[in-house]
Amino acid sequence: MTAGFQELSAGRGFVGRLETGSDLVEEIERFCADHEVRAAQVVVIGAVRRARYAYYEQDDHRYLELESDTHHEIVGFIGNVSLRDGRPFLHAHASFADASGATVGGHLLRGIEVFAAEVMIRELAGVELVRTPDAATGLALW
C-alpha cells in the first residue's frame, strides 16, 4: 500500500560547509528557511563533537532520546526537508562512528555540535510535502 506518491523534478542545488561549533539541524533548517527551500533531499559528511539522536518506540509512540559527548565521524546521513507548522523541517537519520569504529545513530535531534560538515541540499520542485499528524504511527508524516 502506498500513501500518495508525487512526481518531482530537480530544483535548485546548494553545497556548503557548516561552521565549527554550529548546531547541525538548526543550521540546515535556517538555511532552507532563508532560501525558501520547502522540500529537499539533504546529504551531510563530516564529524561532530557531540551527537544527539533518538529511537522511536513504536508501541509507545514516543522518542527515546540518546546522546554522546565524544567525537564522532558522520559515516552515514540521509535526510529530507518538508514543511512542518509552515516552516522547513529537517528529518534526518545518521550513523556516527567513534575512535574504535563502533557506530551509534538514529533520528537526529537538535544539539548536535558540528566539528566539520559538508552539506549538499537538492531542492525538490513540483511537490508539496507537508507534515501532518498520523494516527497509526503517532508521527507527523507527509
Give residues in contact with Zn ion (CB under 5 A).
107
Rounded least distance, CB 41 to Zn ion, Å? 15
Phi-psi domain of 30 (left: phi exceeds 0; alpha: psi -120 through 50; beta: other): alpha
Q: Which is nearer to Zn ion, 84 or 107 (CB)?
A: 107
SS3 71: coil
Shortest Å distance, C-beta 99 to Zn ion: 26
The nearest distance, CB 31 to Zn ion, in angstroms, is: 20
Closest CB to Zn ion belongs to which residue? 107
| Pick 20 or 132: Cβ nearer Zn ion | 132
Three-state DSSP class for 28? helix
Nearer to Zn ion, 99 or 136 (CB): 136
**Residue 39, C-beta contacts closer than 8 angstroms, at least 6 positions apart:** 8, 11, 80, 81, 82, 83, 123, 124, 125, 127, 128, 129
CB of 122 to Zn ion, least distance (A): 19
Q: What is the bridge-based pairing of β-strands 62-68 and 72-84?
A: unpaired
At which residue does the C-alpha cell 546529504 appear? 43
CB of 100 to Zn ion, least distance (A): 26
Residue nearer to Zn ion on the CB measure, 25 or 48: 25
Residues 6 or more apart from 110 whose CB is under 8 A from it? 23, 25, 26, 52
In terms of CB distance, is 35 or 107 closer to Zn ion?
Answer: 107
